[in-house]
Amino acid sequence: MAASVAACSGPQRVLDPAGPQAEHIARLATFLFVTAGIVCAIVFAALALSVQNGRRRADRGEAPDETPDGERRRGRAIGLAAAATTVVLFVYLVAAVRTGRALAWTAEGGPTERAGPPGAPPGLPPERGPFPGGAPLTVEVTGRQWWWEMKYDDPTPSRMLTTANELHIPVGRPVRIVTQSYDVIHSFWVPKLHGKQDMIPGYKNVLWLRADRPGVYRGQCAEYCGHQHAHMAFDVIAESPAEFARWYESQLAPSAPPTDSSAQHGQTVFMSNACIMCHAIGGTPAASRVGPDLTHLASRRTLAAGTLPNTRGHLAGWIVDPQGIKPGARMPSNQLTPDDLNALLDYLRSLK
Amino acid sequence: MTTPSARTMRPVDRAIGTALERPTRAALDVSDLPTVVFGSRDLIWWGTIGFMIVEGITLSICLIAYVYVRRNFDAWPPHGTPMPSLVAPTLSLAVLLAVLIPTRLFDRAGKRLDEHAVRLWLWVATAITAVACVLRFLEFRAVNVRWDSNAYGSAVWMTLITHFTLLIADLFESGTLALIFTLGRHEPKHFVDATNNAFYTYFMVLVWVVPYLIIYWMPRWL
Amino acid sequence: MSDEGRGTRDEPDSVAVLDAPGAPPALPEAQEETVHDRLERVWRDEPGFWGWVTSVNHKRIALRYIITAFVFFILGGIEAAMMRAQLARPENGLIGPDLYNQLFTVHGSTMMFLFAVPIVEAMGLYFVPLMIGTRNVAFPRLNAYGYWTYLIGGALLYVALFTNTGPDQGWFSYVPLAGPEYAPGKRVDVWAQMVTFTEIAAIVGGIEIIVTTFKQRAPGMSLNRVPLFVWAMVVMSFMVLFAMPWVATASTLFLAMDRLIGTHFFNVAEGGDALLWQHLFWFFGHPEVYIIFIPALGMVSSIVATFTSRPVFGYTAMTLSLVATGFLSFGLWVHHMFATPLPQLGLSFFTASSAMITLPTGVQIFCWLATIWAGRARFATPLLFVVGFVVLFVFGGMTGLMLAAVPLDLQITDTFFVPGHIHYVLLGGMVFPLFGAFYYWFPKITGRMLSDRAGKVQFWFLFAGVNVAFFPMLMLGFAGMPRRVYTYLPEMGWGGLNFTATLGAALIALGVVIFLANVAWALRNGRLAGADPWGGDTLEWATSSPPPDYNFAHIPIVRGRAALWAAGHELPVVTGLREDRREVLVTTMLDAMPDSRHEAPEPTVGPLLAALATGVAFTVGIFTVWGFFIGGLLLYPALLVWAWPRGKKPREHEVIEVPE
């Protein structure tokens, strides 16, 4: 019971919109609930009356009514019911299409943005305006088994930002999410902000959203993508434009070199173990893009794509035994001595 | 679990069972109706239509895949893949069309109950169909692409393979019928079977025309 | 013999009655006995195991289908129970991801391919020949072949599951996840070929029903006198012919070949396309659910007519609605793809078509309500299930409309809202009518009545269970829970709803157990049914329960839509079919005028051999492409056993009519 109530305040509740897209959809949902309720009530009432009438005839031992008059009356009633049904369906269609249109400025990139034929460079249609809330922010999100790569677009190439599993956006500004997939079909879904868009290899799919109030909005992969589909989530953190700018600048900076000896040792551990094979840390030789970028790992709320809170203990558990937490994940177990592990943790926890 | 039949029920149950069937009144005698009939009066003709629908749709799906994946390429056939040759495929189509002639002949012979003509033209049709099969083998080479080269090659091969199974089925059907007539094992209903086989052969041949045009001519024209 | 459950139509107790003057003389009783014996000798199967294996009796084969499909229903239910047990609590450690992924895949595949389509088709294979007044289906040997093929397909899937090779990419197996790169091993290949086997069986059944209905109806049963159940089965059969090839081609020719021999249909790097799979699959997948649903509509019509003692209102509207539903169902498939990068402009068309299909089904429901209103309604278990069906299906349909609205779909698709919706419409829309039909027709099949009281108890368990299990899932969709997840975090707040859903699943399971107990009890102790315990209007009630191997001693003649009610005290019948060989009457398509006498094939082991050859082709074909060649080579001799003329003595009295 308490859990159901919790569901009413759950982090992925569809009916708790934080932006215009989710707002429009929530309104449509409410309208359809009411309509469906009325239709069901009418049909069930008709069913109950028919049952009652038929039963009464049986109890009284009367013959069934097959008189021409009776059949004509019934025919008319059914015709009326069919006409009423048609009206209801039409109203429904209008509501659905209108809501779709209301989302339309948010789906400018709607027609398939193809990645192009093999070998051809990917092309995206030009952005169009005017956009409510100012110029849009573009983020390319790539779904990978089982994490999210986020790449912020910027006219200045040196100001493009690559991060993982956490999306910061400024409140009140439209965000253009360009989704794609590195491997299999995933789906980008942040219920409190918008519906989902599937991330299909070979295609780019565009999704517009805007957060109208600050908060943390959880997203989760919504297309079965293999073993750890259940543990492929991410956070969208909507913050004031000033806070967002601060965050962006700090993320752009390369990692600060470790100051204390333990962290320095930890960096050595990182560079001389399997870690460097998959993870990049800006400002160091580690530049692999196989796994999530760890340059600012300590600034994130969660680990392992929304699976664990980002604490020292959980990080330790994840490094040593990822298969125990996310069986099938691409990260191998790492056997480290306690000293090495502690040093590594010191280093990683310093990557703010 | 066996359905209890009238024979295996207990005597008391059987008495109840048969006693509770409705009383009947003979009202129509059909003993003078024929037992062997042709065309849509025959059940197998309808079954043949069923197979045509299913196989025709399957072939169409291969062509749909062919057209669909074309959108992923800016050259067609794709860069690096030669145009399919015309000689062997056209020859193959010609031989297929040629099968229609003996087929039409044994079709008409069957409807006349002409045993000798049916036998003769069935063998001729079988022989020409066999030649068509050989030419189809050559056609796989003539498309100048492997099934695993790219999506274009996959779609072309799958269309060819799908139709090839129809061709082989027809070969075995005609051949077996020819054998039945030659060994003198035929019954009156086999004349109808021959005409149904002809019906299927018309389909098998004519349904290849559109795929032929799409695979060999469309890349040249469009 | 109590009168409970009987209609008002009188039950005469003598067999032969003398006629009015001028009519051909009725057959005296002694001769009537001999007719049964002669027909029995000609139409029966060989005794023992050999007879079982070579049978071409449509009732025997249909019953095999029904029992086998019900076994798969139970297996699928066990898989569901295991999943519900795992999801009852957050971060439950009962079942890991690998097994869970196999479970949801095999559950969906079992229910859709091995239970739902085969069982409704089998109800048709059993009852259509009886209802139209003939002795067997049009192609008895092909019918046998269909069953064996289906059995092999089902066995393949379960042998794979029990050897940890169960498919695990979902019952619709999206690529590239199901392709060679991301799904190594043979799991998906097992799925693809299982689909092939069941598709072959479904198509075979479809051809049977269409041709039998078109060409073997009893004289006088013109198309506008065909029972609504038969119309439903014919519409469904056409849909099968047009829909099944899409999934078979996509799975066997494209996906399996991508995995086996390196074709590139779905390989993006070589010009293939991941969306191509979705289009092909859903073009089949949407009609598939209507293939499952439409026969249930036919069952409802049969039940409503009998238990209100009047014909269903609006025959023309009902048949047109069935046909319209069948057609329209082919125009909805994109509503499974609203979240993909398809051009947005076209999507609303599919919202409109999805809405439009509500109309014919609505008309059917209105007509049934009118029938019940105007009828004399006896609420035996079958009619109770019909009432449950209306409630659950209408509600489920509303949730369908929510999914069909593109903007809302973008939120709730791929969440638990979808399993919530589909189970309301599949359990409510098909399984409820099916149980109603079981209670209705069990007496005909076995000669005994099921317990009506137990039936009503079962109904309430199922009705409560469906609501308790699946309403929370609708809520979970709105709470943001995606589908196909083997676990979830406690802080999401989904635990309570999941636990409730698991309780509902337990209620459903109990309902099914009650049914099985009822069947077991009734087979031994059920009241003897006689030919017509309910006072039905269709021809299956004119013969004994169970029907003899030859269905009717004499083919009935039909004088009106409700064949038995129009016939009155005596049934006019046809004479002149031979009793020394298997003969069925073939009639014209539109008006069912007698046209010819057709010799029906005798039992043979050929169909089983052909099914085994097919089995070799598509099972060995999982591992090597040479499997298809080997299977093909084995198929030819099997077909010879099937069809080679047996060389009986020359046929006397063969009457040949050549075309003009």
User: Given the structure tokens 């139409």, which residue do they identify?
Assistant: C43
Domains A137-251 and A261-349 share a fold: yes
Q: Verify whether the Cβ–Cβ distance B74 to A202 is below 8 Å.
A: no
Return the pLDDT at C268. 94
CB burial readout C332-351, b (16+ within 10 A) else e: bbbbbbbbbbbebeebbebb
User: Given the structure tokens 């047996």, which residue do they identify?
Assistant: C646
Q: Which domains does chain B have, with CATH numbers?
A: 39-221 (1.20.120.80)
In angstroms, rounded to a whole number, what is the distance separating the alpha carbons of residues C545 and B5? 9
C647 to chain B: nearest residue by CA? B185
Q: Verify whether the Cβ–Cβ distance B53 to C63 is below 8 Å.
A: no
Per-residue pLDDT of chain A (352 residues; tens, 9 = 90+): 444 444 456 899 999 999 999 999 999 999 999 999 999 999 999 999 999 999 999 999 999 999 999 999 999 999 999 999 999 999 999 999 999 988 875 444 433 344 433 333 334 444 444 456 667 899 999 999 999 999 999 999 999 999 999 999 999 999 999 999 999 999 999 999 999 999 999 999 888 899 999 999 999 999 999 999 999 999 999 999 999 999 999 999 999 899 999 999 999 999 999 999 999 999 999 999 999 999 999 999 999 999 999 999 999 999 999 999 999 999 999 999 999 999 999 999 999 8
Please choose, from the candidates A82, A65, A54, the residue with its C-alpha nearest in 3D space to the C-alpha of residue C365. Answer: A82
Dihedral angle over CA of C577, C578, C581, C583, nearest 10:
-10
Q: What ranges do the domains of chain A cover?
A: 2-103, 137-251, 261-349
Q: Verify whether the Cβ–Cβ distance A66 to C311 is below 8 Å.
A: yes
Q: Verify whether the Cβ–Cβ distance B17 to C544 is below 8 Å.
A: yes
C10 to chain B: nearest residue by CA? B22
C404 close to A (CB below 8 A): yes
Dihedral angle over CA of C316, C320, C322, C328, nearest 10:
-170
In angstroms, rounded to a whole number, what is the distance separating the alpha carbons of residues A29 and A177? 24
Return the pLDDT at A136. 87
Q: Verify whether the Cβ–Cβ distance C553 to B21 is below 8 Å.
A: yes
In angstroms, rounded to a whole number, what is the distance separating the alpha carbons of residues C135 and C479? 55
pLDDT of C7 strictly over 60: no
DSSP string, A257-306: PP-SHHHHHHHHHHHHSTHHHH-B-TTSS-B--SS---TTGGG-SEETTT
In angstroms, rounded to a whole number, what is the distance separating the alpha carbons of residues C396 and C467? 11
C170 to chain A: nearest residue by CA? A224
Q: Mean pLDDT over all residues of chain C?
A: 93
- Residues of chain B contacting C25 with CB distance shorter than 8 Å: 26
- Residues of chain A contacting B73 with CB distance shorter than 8 Å: 117-118
Q: Mean pLDDT over all residues of chain B?
A: 91
Q: Verify whether the Cβ–Cβ distance C496 to A13 is below 8 Å.
A: no
Average pLDDT (C231-258) is 97
Return the pLDDT at A329. 94
B68 close to C (CB below 8 A): yes
Tell me: the pLDDT tens digits for A48-61?
999 999 999 999 99
Which amino acid type is present at position C659? P
> What residues contact residue A201 under an 8 Å CB cut-off, 6+ apart?
A180, A181, A182, A183, A184, A185, C176, C268, C274
Sort C430 into a burial class: Cβ within 10 Å, 0-12 / 13-18 / 19+: buried
In angstroms, rounded to a whole number, what is the distance separating the alpha carbons of residues A262 and A259? 9
Top-confidence residue, B12 or C540: C540
Return the pLDDT at B178. 97
pLDDT of C25 strictly over 80: no
pLDDT of C435 strictly over 90: yes
How far, in Å, are A162, A251, B43, B71 from residue A159 at the CA level? 10, 10, 75, 35
Given C317, C410, C492, which is nearest A195 (Cβ)?
A: C410
Which of C307, C340, C409, C500 is most worth mutating to test chain A (most A CB atoms within 10 A of its CB)? C340
Q: Verify whether the Cβ–Cβ distance B72 to A118 is below 8 Å.
A: yes
Which of C320, C338, C492, C498 is most worth mutating to test chain A (most A CB atoms within 10 A of its CB)? C492
Neighbour tally for B102: CB within 10 Å: 23
- Residues of chain C contacting A53 with CB distance shorter than 8 Å: 372-374
Tell me: the pLDDT tens digits for C67-124?
999 999 999 999 999 999 999 999 999 999 999 999 999 999 999 999 999 999 999 9
Touching subunits of B (3+ CB pairs, under 8 Å) are: A, C
- Residues of chain A contacting C377 with CB distance shorter than 8 Å: 51, 54-55, 57-58
CA angle, corner C157, sides to C151 and C159, nearest 5? 95
Which of B72, B76, B81 is most worth mutating to test chain A (most A CB atoms within 10 A of its CB)? B72
pLDDT of C647 strictly over 80: no
Tell me: the pLDDT tens digits for C369-424?
999 999 999 999 999 999 999 999 999 999 999 999 999 999 999 999 999 999 99
pLDDT-derived band at B23, boundaries 50, 70, 90 = confident
Q: In terms of DSSP bridges, do strands A233-239 and A215-220 run parallel, antiparallel, or are they unpaired?
A: antiparallel
In chain A, what is the greatest distance between 2 CA atoms, to the nearest angstrom?
Answer: 99
Given B7, B24, B72, which is nearest C554 (Cβ)?
A: B24
B75 close to C (CB below 8 A): no
Please tell me the pTM assigned to this model. 0.93
B69 to chain A: nearest residue by CA? A117
Domain A137-251 has CATH 3.40.50.300: no
| Three-class secondary structure of residue C169 per DSSP | coil
Q: Verify whether the Cβ–Cβ distance B73 to A117 is below 8 Å.
A: yes
Return the pLDDT at A133. 63
Q: Verify whether the Cβ–Cβ distance C447 to B29 is below 8 Å.
A: no
pLDDT of C13 strictly over 70: no
In angstroms, rounded to a whole number, what is the distance separating the alpha carbons of residues C594 and C585? 7
CA angle, corner B60, sides to B57 and B61, nearest 5? 90
Return the pLDDT at C646. 84
In angstroms, rounded to a whole number, what is the distance separating the alpha carbons of residues A188 and A194? 10
The nearest CA of chain B is from the CA of A282 a distance in Å of: 37
The percent of residues in chain C predicted with pLDDT above 70, rounded, is: 94
Q: Is residue C82 within 8 Å of residue C91, measured between CB atoms?
A: no
The nearest CA of chain C is from the CA of B114 a distance in Å of: 11
Given C245, C546, C567, which is nearest B58 (Cβ)?
A: C245
Return the pLDDT at A180. 95
Q: Verify whether the Cβ–Cβ distance A120 to B74 is below 8 Å.
A: yes
The nearest CA of chain B is from the CA of A120 a distance in Å of: 9
Which residues on adjacent β-strands are paired with residue A113? Answer: A204
In angstroms, rounded to a whole number, what is the distance separating the alpha carbons of residues B140 and A5? 65
The nearest CA of chain C is from the CA of A105 a distance in Å of: 12
Q: Verify whether the Cβ–Cβ distance A74 to C374 is below 8 Å.
A: yes
Helix, strand, coil percent values for chain C (each to nearest 5)? 65, 5, 30
The percent of residues in chain C predicted with pLDDT above 90, rounded, is: 90
Return the pLDDT at B222. 79
Tell me: the pLDDT tens digits for B163-191?
999 999 999 999 999 999 999 989 999 99
Return the pLDDT at C26. 52
Return the pLDDT at C191. 97
pLDDT-derived band at C654, boundaries 50, 70, 90 = confident
Please choose, from the candidates C299, C349, C286, the residue with its C-alpha nearest in 3D space to the C-alpha of residue C112. Answer: C286
C477 close to A (CB below 8 A): yes
DSSP string, A88-152: HHHHHHHHHHHHHHHTGGGGTT-S-EE--STTSPP--PPP----TTSSPEEEEEEEETTEEEEEE
C97 to chain A: nearest residue by CA? A227
Tell me: the pLDDT tens digits for C178-227?
999 999 999 999 999 999 999 999 999 999 999 999 999 999 999 999 99
Average pLDDT (C491-502) is 96
In angstroms, rounded to a whole number, what is the distance separating the alpha carbons of residues C15 and C570? 10
| Three-class secondary structure of residue C340 per DSSP | coil
In angstroms, rounded to a whole number, what is the distance separating the alpha carbons of residues B110 and B189? 10
Q: Verify whether the Cβ–Cβ distance C481 to A12 is below 8 Å.
A: yes
Q: Verify whether the Cβ–Cβ distance B72 to A117 is below 8 Å.
A: yes
User: Given the structure tokens 């460097």, which residue do they identify?
Assistant: A276
C85 close to A (CB below 8 A): no
Return the pLDDT at B9. 44
Q: Is residue C561 within 8 Å of residue C311, measured between CB atoms?
A: yes
User: What is the dihedral sign for C-alpha B101, B103, B108, B113?
Assistant: positive
> What residues contact residue A99 under an 8 Å CB cut-off, 6+ apart?
A24, A25, A27, A28, C405, C407, C408
Q: Verify whether the Cβ–Cβ distance A198 to C390 is below 8 Å.
A: no
pLDDT-derived band at C649, boundaries 50, 70, 90 = low
DSSP string, C504-546: HHHHHHHHHHHHHHHHHHHHHHSPB--S-SS--SSGGGGS-SS
Structure tokens at C592: 């069912």
pLDDT of B12 strictly over 70: no
Return the pLDDT at B10. 44
Given C177, C387, C394, which is nearest A185 (Cβ)?
A: C177
Q: In terms of DSSP bridges, do strands A197-199 and A186-188 run parallel, antiparallel, or are they unpaired?
A: antiparallel
Return the pLDDT at A106. 46
CATH topology assigned to domain A261-349: Immunoglobulin-like (2.60.40)
Touching subunits of A (3+ CB pairs, under 8 Å) are: B, C
- Residues of chain A contacting C92 with CB distance shorter than 8 Å: none
